[in-house]
Chains A and B, each alone.
Chain A
Amino acid sequence: MGACPFADFFLQMSASVEASVFVTSCDQMRRAADQAASRNGGEVFLMNVPATWQVPAARQLYRKEIERLGAFLVSIGGVPPSAEALAAELRSRTWEASPANRSTAEACKRVPLALIGESLMPSHFSLPGLLESLGGRVALDATSLGERGQPVFSDEARIAEDPFGTLVDGYFDSVADVFQRPNTRLYDWLRPRIAGRGIRGIVLWHYSWCDLWRAEANRLREEFLLPVLFLDADGSLTPSMKTRLEVFLEILRP
């Protein structure tokens, strides 16, 4: 029976560091933390990220978990930031699309795609470049470490007054993900961006044995009425994936 390669990768990486932070946003990662804890190695912290978001109790849980994470980091040698330092950090957080994806005149000739799904692993970092070489471009990076996973800290007055509360609310309110229940926030986030950026096709980037993203393939088709290429990713970009991307873009090209 297979395990998620992303969780496996994270588990392997955690073996070579002094401390690792896992999250409960999926069962595979949650149980990977159990595996990490059962071997002799570095410290393991498992952060409980609530799946629900519509009630104050979920926000309160999230806030307590950030506090607990802070205490853990301090316990392994970290230094708590001052309010000013935290505020400065929040102000510095801006999301910038990679050069290949910006709406330059050259880029606009390529087929605009939405890349939706889990974060890319280092062995997949060449994917946007590959899409570009095939005549496409990632006009919407909706992977977990892409635009979709970036918190918004826009209220300057609140940052100055309560940087910790801003940190908590920024992540809790603006990051939409597939594990949330209901997952309507994910679709609410995607809808205006897919429409506004003229997206012509969706590449669903999902790891083998990831039930959460896999289950969304049909829903994405039903919701956006766009072609969806479902890439079942493992450790690397395979020749078969490249061929499928090539054909997908050939079909989408005007």
Chain B
Amino acid sequence: MNGPPQKLCLDEWDARHASLLADGMREPAYGGLLSRHVGERGDTRLRHLLFDSSAAALRLWNFLLTEEDRLRGHRAAGRKLVGAMKDLGTVPVMAFASPDLVAFYPDGAWWTPCLMEHSDGLLAVADRLGIDDSFCPVRAMLGAFVTGSHFPIPELLVCSAGAVCDDFSAIAQRLEPLGFPVFWWEIPRRRSPEPGESALTLPGGLEAPECQIALTRLELGRVRLALEELAGGPLDDASLSASIRAANLIRRRLRALRDLAFTAEASPLPALELLIAEMLALHYCSDRDESLVVLERLLAEVQARVAAGQGVLSVDAARVFWVNPVADLRVMNLLEECGGRLCGTDLMFGHALVDIPEDLPPLEALARVALADPMVGPAQDRARMICAEMRRLGAEALVVSRIPGASHCCREGDIIRQFVRENTGLPTLEIEVPPLSDAMMPALHSRLLALVETVIGRRAL
């Protein structure tokens, strides 16, 4: 516990940091003042965010914002870097099975233009390469590869193809002629089994034909060979199974954190920190053990706050289920400024939050989880899962946050909103969030406020 929870701006966090140190807080090697990231890395967006006041949140932020240092450290230590792209949660589990490999998502560069408030110039580089703002902000990744000034260039790039976003696939393909070869593997578009076709239930409850699982397993077998070649040694089943168990530990902590935070009477952790915490499930911010520690600290903080009846927001806050990650982190603060709170999320990687089966051969288990990806199947499946989660978590409204230029957003938002309206009767709202939303902030504020007012008004009925 660190006293009553508050939300602090960056300047206030410096004083808070000194106070925590005086009280005996011990930090990991990557710890320190949050404000240093503005000067050292140019993460100027931090000046416009509000942060949770706990030591656990400080650790989360410092962990997130020092990932590039960690990657360079791994390389200096002789480990090989794997750039996993698009699959969001599967390939890193395989890579971390080898002590000589570290995986990360270059996709994560999509937040760099936000964090650096465009001073990074990554989108301008992508523009020059013909990938303009009609594409998703993940095009910043292309700029990061070409400039080499953000993450270290991985030795191996592994990207899923098939049932993936066009914009991501096109951007990843653009890398190849620029000298960054990509290892492509197929993820089929998940479909319902035909009558009489043999099928299996996937983690999370969806069904898929066995032939699709078999294909995905074969494809992951190819990924395994590529990783073995890079590691210079075998990735045996025992190592993969151990890596699956380690991934599940993290996923369970995260699920416990989410469930408690989303269902507590008073929101015990702000939306921004909840969003960041979910990202740890994807590739552990390049340090699996530390990722677990970060999540355990957050969970302990949340448990303590809930036990003490403490929250960071009014207990009356409108309970909002949020769909898709936001390109501008500031919008998570905005939701709360408008009187809302997070009460569930689908940030496009629900399959990275469920347990990977531990009683199956590892590639079979990973194939089933990869096919459970909400983005590789029909939008109706995703909508159905969102409805079920909204009911379970007691959500009062839905926000679909469109990603500018993303090929899936122009159609799935309508399907999801319609499905939710028909099945829950709850209000829904669609917004679009660019990497820097300052110019749109008044409009976003008005729209979110109207949603919150609608929710509050419905309570009286």
Contact = CB atoms under 8 A, between A and B. Distances in A.
Interface string B148-182: 00000000000101111111011101101100001
A58 interface: yes
Given A24-B162, A71-B194, A215-B170, A35 B211 contact: no
Interface stretch (B11-19, B47-55, B387-395, B411-419): B411-419
B162 A68 contact: no
A31 B379 contact: yes
A152 interface: no
A51 B161 CA distance: 6
Interface in B369-402: 378-380, 402
Interface stretch (A86-94, A102-110, A206-214, A240-248): A206-214
Interface stretch (B104-112, B183-191, B269-277): B183-191
Given A2-B410, A57-B218, A182 B184 contact: yes
A103 B247 CA distance: 62
A215 B131 CA distance: 6
A55 B164 CA distance: 19
A51 B410 contact: no
A32 interface: yes
A215 to B, nearest CB: 4
Given A3-B410, A31-B411, A222 B135 contact: no
A222 B184 contact: no
Interface of B: 129-131, 134-135, 159, 161-167, 169-171, 173-174, 176-177, 182, 184-186, 188-189, 191, 194, 211, 215, 218-219, 222, 378-380, 402, 404-405, 407-412, 414-415, 418-419, 432
A209 B134 contact: yes
B163 A61 contact: no
B409 A1 contact: yes
A101 B402 CA distance: 44
12 contacts: A3-B411, A31-B411, A34-B411, A34-B412, A35-B411, A38-B379, A38-B415, A52-B162, A58-B186, A64-B211, A68-B194, A212-B170
Given A27-B407, A64-B211, A211-B167, 10 more contacts: A3-B411, A24-B162, A28-B407, A34-B379, A48-B188, A57-B219, A182-B173, A209-B410, A214-B170, A215-B131
Interface of A: 1-3, 24, 26-28, 30-32, 34-35, 37-38, 46, 48, 50-52, 55, 57-58, 60-61, 64, 68, 71, 179, 181-183, 209-212, 214-219, 222-223
A89 to B, nearest CB: 25
Given A182-B184, A212-B166, A222-B177, A57 B215 contact: yes
Nearest to B136: A211
Contacts of A48: 162-163, 188-189, 191
Contacts of B177: 219, 222-223
Contacts of B404: 1
B372 to A, nearest CB: 17
A194 to B, nearest CB: 16
A182 B157 CA distance: 13
A61 B209 CA distance: 12
A219 B171 CA distance: 12
A42 to B, nearest CB: 17
Closest CB pairs A-B (n = 5): A218-B130, A215-B170, A181-B161, A27-B407, A51-B161
Contacts of A46: 189, 191
Contact of A52 (B176, B186, B405, B411): B186
Contact of A211 (B218, B222, B378, B407): B407
Nearest to B190: A48
A90 B170 CA distance: 33
B191 A26 contact: no
Contact of B134 (A34, A57, A214): A214
Nearest to B378: A34
Contacts of B412: 31, 34
Contacts of B409: 1
B26 to A, nearest CB: 47
B169 A181 contact: yes
Contacts of B184: 51-52, 181-182
A38 B419 CA distance: 9
Contacts of A216: 170
A38 B415 CA distance: 8
B163 A24 contact: yes
A189 to B, nearest CB: 16
Nearest to B182: A182
A192 to B, nearest CB: 18
Contacts of A32: 411
A159 B335 CA distance: 63
Contact of A215 (B130, B159, B189, B432): B130
Contacts of A55: 218-219, 222
A35 B415 contact: yes
Nearest to A210: B166
B188 A50 contact: yes
A31 B378 CA distance: 7
A215 B186 contact: no
Contact of A28 (B159, B411, B415): B411
B339 to A, nearest CB: 27
A52 B414 CA distance: 30
Contacts of A181: 159, 161, 169, 173, 182, 184
Contact of B186 (A30, A31, A61, A212): A61
Contacts of B170: 211-212, 214-216
Nearest to A71: B194
Contacts of A183: 173
B374 to A, nearest CB: 12
B162 A50 contact: yes
A35 B418 CA distance: 11
Contact of A51 (B186, B411, B418): B186
A110 to B, nearest CB: 29
From A46, A61, A223, residue with most partner B Cβ within 10 Å: A61
Contacts of B173: 181-183, 215
A108 B452 CA distance: 67
B408 A27 contact: yes
B129 A218 contact: yes
